[in-house]
Amino acid sequence: MTKPIEGFSKLTKEEKLDWITTNYTENSEDAKKILKRYWNPDKTLQQLHDEFIENTLTNYYLPFGIAPNFLINDTLYAIPMAIEESSVVAAASKAAKFWLTRGGFKTRVLGTQKIGQVHFIFQGNPQKLSAFFEEIKPKLYSEAVPITKNMEKRGGGITEIELRNKTKALENYYQLHCTFETLDAMGANFINSCLEQFANTLKTGAQNFASFTKEEKNIEVVMAILSNYVPNCLVRAEVSCPVNQLNVGGQLSSADFAQKMVRAVEIAKVEPHRAVTHNKGIMNGIDAVILATGNDFRAVEAGVHAYAAKDGRYSSLTHAEVKDNTFRFWIDVPLALGTVGGLTSLHPLVKLALEILGKPSAEELMQIVAVAGLAQNFAALRSLVTTGIQEGHMKMHLLNILNQLGATEAEKTRLTEYFKKNAATHSAVVAAFEQLRKS
Ligand SMILES: CC(C)(COP(=O)([O-])OP(=O)([O-])OC[C@H]1O[C@@H](n2cnc3c(N)ncnc32)[C@H](O)[C@@H]1OP(=O)([O-])[O-])[C@@H](O)C(=O)NCCC(=O)NCCSC(=O)C[C@@](C)(O)CC(=O)[O-]
Ligand SMILES: NC(=O)C1=CN([C@@H]2O[C@H](COP(=O)(O)OP(=O)(O)OC[C@H]3O[C@@H](n4cnc5c(N)ncnc54)[C@H](O)[C@@H]3O)[C@@H](O)[C@H]2O)C=CC1
């Protein structure tokens, strides 16, 4: 059995490779070859990537693709997407092309408020705590000035600090609930630094607050951390057109298609099992742009799903209606994004993705990302209510299956042709491949 290792973090990269491949793989030399194949020959670039995280062994590639033809507020964008799943980029591109001739996407930022909290335990009189809070509130701001002064110069900073009594939820639990404007930064580090300063001011201030008893002076700060639930850092993206312009081909009339789209959204609104998949489809688009632009997809995912459940039941992030013969389809989504900070100026591909997008501000990026989510949902629903999802998805997935089977280039060409006219299920692809090899 492999023994635990002390000091792994201190080993060199080669030593780490030796240890992991010797102890956890069947063929150490083969495993090392795989890991090293992904090293970048440019040593400086490789070192940059090594230093993004800890204990780096190699790089993990994701395809970086482009979905063109996105008309957003009358500007044409080509949207970079980093994702492993086939058909997502094609679906986004198809939806962009569809709406290009129908007025494009309209977007607006509904808010940019970020949130952070100092969670603390206070055993004592709540009125005295309120009086104490009013007294130290100016100090909370002033002692944070070394952290906030540059952000304030840019027009951002701390926007509010509130004392919240949470003792009904948990005995003696209070919080400083704080809001921030972090402009083009996602803001995690800025907010956390401010919160840790607030925590110090709070604890020190309590020790010196004359009307507190000895016990009341001992405020216990449990933690100080930003919240990834940002319902007021919100963006709306929408499309609309007269129903008779919704011609999607096939048997379905434009009116029936519009009606089915609305029904599909209504089902996702009331049925959590469907809502989760519906929103997964939206996140196909959102995450891909978040990754390509070096943003924090875990933060976005956590916040988006909390928002989808804000009314007490997990529900659709998109909405659809037919009113006065107009089909309208829109999304409201919370997105705390950065176009400065984090990886944005470090990762060469991230910098390039932002350049392709016209070096957007964080607000502009919020709008682009929301559009990617909406487009993805439109494409998926369009397939679901017409041909079914498998036709298009399997068409795109075909090459993955053929690669798994070890098909040659000539075999891939023959089989791609064949599956233009035949339904591509996994078993059908395997059968056609085997047949081709026999013939
Ligand atoms: C897959 C398509 C686009 C095929 O659609 P199609 O009609 O067969 O495509 P087409 O060959 O007629 O081409 C039309 C346009 O689609 C795009 N397109 C088409 N093919 C490509 C390609 N190879 N590479 C790049 N772009 C492509 C491209 O914009 C192209 O225009 P052009 O470039 O020719 O001017 C369509 O069937 C579709 O949109 N399907 C939906 C796919 C989807 O949603 N995939 C996500 C994965 S499934 C999932 O995870 C989520 C889900 C579905 O469960 C969510 C939910 O349930 O709500
Ligand atoms: N729970 C979470 O989501 C957490 C996330 N993180 C990570 O924190 C990182 C993001 O933190 P940030 O503070 O955004 O990045 P950061 O620490 O790189 O800071 C960005 C800084 O850029 C400066 N700046 C320059 N021009 C600006 C402009 N126009 N607008 C605003 N600021 C400008 C500001 O000083 C700002 O604080 C991400 O990598 C994220 O993964 C870290 C801790 C927790």
Q: Provide ipTM, 2 decimals.
A: 0.95
Q: Is the pLDDT of residue 193 over 90?
A: yes
Mean pLDDT value of segment 294-298: 97
Mean pLDDT value of segment 250-254: 90
The closest of 167, 163, 185 to 176, measured between CA atoms, is 163
- Where in the chain are all domains bearing CATH 3.30.70.420? 114-227
Higher model confidence: residue 2 or residue 242? 242
The closest of 362, 371, 363, 382 to 282, measured between CA atoms, is 371
Q: Is the pLDDT of residue 396 over 90?
A: no
**93 alpha carbon, closest ligand:** 1
Residue linked to tokens 């230093």 = 51
pLDDT in tens, 49-68: 999 999 999 999 999 999 99
Please tell me the least confidently modeled range out of 152-161, 241-250, 295-304.
241-250
pLDDT in tens, 78-116: 999 999 999 999 999 999 999 999 999 999 999 999 999
Q: List, chain by chain if needed, residues with CB within 6 Å of any ligand 2 atom.
A: 150-151, 154, 182-190, 226, 228, 296, 299, 338, 340-342
The whole-angstrom separation of Cα 82 and Cα 288 is 5
397 band by pLDDT with thresholds 50, 70 and 90 = confident
pLDDT in tens, 169-191: 999 999 999 999 999 999 999 99
The closest of 159, 164, 160 to 175, measured between CA atoms, is 164
In contact, 366 and 237? CB cutoff 8 Å: no
**Cβ count near 309 (within 10 Å):** 12
Active site residue ranges? 85, 280, 296, 393
The pLDDT score that the predictor gives to residue 61 is: 95
The closest of 403, 414, 417, 405 to 436, measured between CA atoms, is 414
- Where in the chain are all domains bearing CATH 3.90.770.10? 67-108+235-387
Q: List, chain by chain if needed, residues with CB within 6 Å of any ligand 1 atom.
A: 85, 87-91, 93-94, 97, 277-278, 280-281, 284, 379-380, 383-384, 389, 392-393, 395-396
CATH number of 67-108+235-387: 3.90.770.10
142 band by pLDDT with thresholds 50, 70 and 90 = very high
Thinking of the domain 114-227, which architecture would CATH place it in?
Answer: 2-Layer Sandwich (3.30)
